[in-house]
Amino acid sequence: MFGGEAVEKIILHSDANSFFASVEAALDPSLKGKAVAVCGAVEERHGIVLAQSIQARRWGVKTGMTVAEAKKCTPNLTVVKPHYDMYTKYSKALRRIYNDYAFKVEPFGLDECWLDLSTGIKNFKDGVYVAETLREQVKKELDITVSVGVSFNKIFAKLGSDLKKPDAVTLISPQNYKEKVFPLPVNALLGVGRSTAAALKKYGIKTVGALAECNPDFLKQTLGKAGETLWIYANGLESSPVLSEEEHPPVKSVGNGMTPPADLKTADEVHAFILWLSLEVGRRLRECGLLCGGVSLSLRDTALAVKQYQAPLKQATDNGGDIAAAAYRLFAGKAGAPLPLRSLTVTAINLVDIRAPMQIDMFCDNRQTEKRRALNRAVDAVCGRYGQNALLPASLFGKGFALSPSGQSFQR
Ligand SMILES: [Mg+2]
């Protein structure tokens, strides 16, 4: 119970608290302790809340609300514009600090990382000490706070970082996990979204403990492979290693999604937004030396309901324009596609290495493809130097989307 026993693995998960809002307060101390909402299109009534401070959250301000809705929660709400370049800078600074503590640091999004301490540290008492030291160092050096989970697997470490916020450390050990984790709702586990939680609820499974005590065969029958995985998670049996960036397995998908500053009301706006997101997806594919053989589009409406569509491509590509065209066909092909939309995600799927041998489409002009590749390389070089919005197609000129690095995802 005191955490002094030697264990096989000691993993930390560190999660920056209300990351965007905390960075804003670190940059402008007058925002400290206030209810702050980071919003796109501040000047318009219809701007959307992208992130909020802990104080704003206490008043009920939620991500995805309009500014008008958020202001109804509390009249004292301070609304600020996002500074994405600063969030990236702080994200890198966090990672530099983590690298001092662990050989293996695996980022999960912009503001979360797993650290594997197992090589140097053999018991949880020391693991908690490292977590406390790291938490203090982040606060002192960056003026933002983190919550850290300490555990024997990545899933419980992440869950631990959610249990006490802000500026806290939580230990979930083999001795206490049943007491700490089992009473929590199933969606406390990574990978349990709204639909999975609803499916489990149908069978009366509402807590992690109930999930852990299920027959794994029953879960496999009802939820497929995911059911089996969740049973493993709930029982603390997950054992995947913390992977440093060089060790990452090949990327399985490259996605870019975000909430635009205002809801998308027309097909034209959707078209422009899809193109905007897809250009970045193409750039990331080229950076990784990958082509995609399919595209997936996920749409979130103003009631926050999500619909997802996907389709294979005739010819694998790393060109943002082609990805956008395929994604827009998915949108346009669904006559019932809801408008207005609150957010969109374009994801490149069925990825192949650009060097892999592939069938060449006989009806496709390969000279044209080569020319476009050369153009993309030139655009990448300019944007690499002057920022990702330095060169854009004329059709996007004057569109006020703020491209968010937080929406990008790599699925492995
Ligand atoms: Mg966070």
**10-residue mean pLDDT series, the chain (412 residues):** 67 96 97 92 68 95 87 94 87 95 88 93 95 98 98 97 96 97 95 85 95 94 87 94 78 87 90 92 86 93 87 90 94 79 93 65 59 75 66 68 44 46
65: containing domain: 1-175
Q: What is the pLDDT of residue 385?
A: 62
Whether residues 16 and 164 share a domain: the answer is yes
Q: Name the DSSP letter for residue 264.
A: B
Q: What is the pLDDT of residue 282?
A: 93
**Bridge pairing between strands 36-39 and 78-80:** parallel
d(CA 101, CA 367): 51
CA of 175 to the centre of ligand 1 (A): 27
For 124, 247, 290, the CA distances from 250, given in Å and listed in that order, are 32, 9, 10
pLDDT for residue 324? 96
Q: Which helix (H) or strand (E) holds 410?
A: strand 408-411
> Residue 9 — φ and ψ, nearest 5°?
-130, 140
SS3 content of the chain, % helix, strand, coil (to 5): 40, 20, 35
CB 339 within 8 A of CB 300: no
88 alpha carbon to ligand 1 midpoint, in Å? 13
Length of the chain: 412
12 & 150 share domain? yes
The pTM score is 0.66
49 and 26: one domain? Answer: yes
pLDDT of residue 210: 97
Q: Could you tell me the distance, in angstroms and rounded to a whole number, from the CA of residue 33 to the centre of ligand 1?
A: 17
- CA–chain centroid gap for 218, Å, is 30
183: which 2 tokens? 């009473």
Q: Domain holding 96: CATH number?
A: 3.30.70.270
Both 121 and 261 in one domain: the answer is: no
The CA-based dihedral angle spanning residues 405, 33, 94, 247, taken in that order and rounded to the nearest 10 degrees = -60
Considering the domain architecture, whether residues 39 and 129 belong to the same structural domain is answered as yes
Q: Of 24, 112, 238, 269, which one is the catalytic site residue?
A: 112
pLDDT value, residue 251? 75
Q: Are residues 190 and 271 in the same domain?
A: no
The predicted structure's pLDDT at residue 44: 58
Same domain for 155 and 36?
Answer: yes
- Tell me how many domains the chain contains: 3
Beta-carbon contacts of residue 246 (< 8 Å; ≥ 6 apart)? none
pLDDT at residue 2, as a whole number? 47
Indicate if 209 and 299 belong to the same structural domain: no
For residues 308 and 366, membership in a common domain is answered with: yes
Picking from 118, 121, 82, 114, the residue whose alpha carbon sits closest to that of residue 95 is 114
pLDDT at 365: 58
Active site residue 370: no
Residue 266 CB-density burial (10 A; 0-12 exposed, 13-18 middle, 19+ buried): exposed
pLDDT at 120 (0 to 100): 87
pLDDT of the residue at 401: 57
Ligand 1 centroid to Cα of residue 73, in Å, is 22
